[in-house]
């Protein structure tokens, strides 16, 4: 359920992009009417309208996530704040310059910032963030937590590179598909792999006398 909540802005981004892509004339008119004051020149063409409208949606959805959690009295994850800052800054640049390049960098920057947080916490502060998040659910030797931590660092680094590769090697429509299905699918596979690794390790630990 949390994974779905985390990916909600991406799902809405995908939905708006696909709808606007299939209604190019409406998208151009709507983007010009709604975003004209925010874009250079004041006019949005049919080609860039889908990604601009989708960018507005993802900014609003990310802000709504934070507002929802604040209203429920929940603590806001730091990475969600980072995501809001990145999507607002890079999304704002995308809207102003009529260029999808900026918003395409947002996932990579977020992946790398997250990976860097895991690495810096371990290297400089001797704190394993993954262990801090999961230690109440499972007990593991320090060496196992360290391997898992580095696995997440590597995963975030590779995901950032993969996002850039898709963004610059394929069309914007293909990148949007990858942003939802590719990223979500790879995240689920990685977490399943981690679950298998943990279950095997926990099983062997339990079998010890």
Predicted TM-score (pTM) of the model is 0.87
| Separation CA 6–CA 101 (nearest Å) | 23
pLDDT score of 99 more than 80:
yes
pLDDT score of 166 more than 90:
yes
Q: Which residues of 106-139 are buried (b: 16+ CB within 10 A; e: fewer)?
A: bbbbbbbbbbebbbebbeeeeebbbbeebeeeee
Please name the residue that has the structure tokens 């860097």.
Answer: 116
Q: Could you read off the pLDDT of 133-149 as tens digits, one per residue?
A: 776 677 777 788 888 89
Question: Rounded mean pLDDT of 121-139?
Answer: 79
Instruction: Please state the domain extents for the chain.
Output: 1-98, 100-209
Identify the three-state secondary structure at position 76: coil
Please name the residue that has the structure tokens 């992009």.
Answer: 17
pLDDT for the residue numbered 169? 97
User: How far, in whole angstroms, is CA 131 from its chain's centroid?
Assistant: 22
A 10 A CB-CB count for 21 gives 18
Q: Could you read off the pLDDT of 181-208 as tens digits, one per residue?
A: 999 899 999 999 988 887 776 644 444 4
Per-residue confidence band for 9, with pLDDT thresholds at 50, 70 and 90: very high
pLDDT score of 153 more than 90:
yes
As to burial, measured by CB atoms within 10 angstroms (0-12 exposed, 13-18 middle, 19+ buried), residue 38 is middle
| Separation CA 135–CA 70 (nearest Å) | 26
Torsion of CA 80, 85, 87, 93, to 10 degrees: 180
pLDDT for the residue numbered 204? 46
A 10 A CB-CB count for 15 gives 13
pLDDT score of 34 more than 50:
yes
């Amino acid at each position: 359920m949390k994974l779905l909540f985390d990916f909600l802005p991406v799902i809405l981004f995908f939905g708006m992009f696909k709808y606007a892509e299939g209604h190019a004339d409406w998208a151009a008119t709507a983007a010009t009417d709604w975003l004209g004051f925010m874009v250079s020149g004041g006019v949005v063409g049919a080609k860039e309208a889908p990604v601009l409208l989708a960018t507005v949606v993802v900014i609003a959805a990310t802000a709504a996530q934070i507002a929802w959690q604040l209203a429920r009295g929940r603590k806001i994850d730091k990475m969600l704040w980072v995501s809001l800052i990145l999507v607002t800054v890079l999304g704002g640049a995308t809207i102003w310059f009529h260029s999808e390049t900026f918003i395409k960098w947002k996932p990579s920057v977020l992946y790398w910032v997250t990976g860097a947080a895991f690495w810096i916490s371990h290297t400089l502060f001797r704190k394993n963030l993954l262990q801090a998040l999961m230690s109440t659910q499972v007990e593991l030797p320090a060496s196992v937590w360290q391997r898992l931590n580095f696995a997440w660092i590597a995963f975030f680094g590779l995901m950032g590179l993969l996002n850039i590769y898709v963004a610059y090697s394929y069309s914007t429509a293909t990148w949007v598909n990858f942003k939802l299905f590719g990223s979500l699918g790879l995240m689920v596979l990685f977490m399943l792999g981690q679950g298998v690794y943990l279950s095997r390790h926990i099983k062997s630990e339990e079998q010890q006398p």
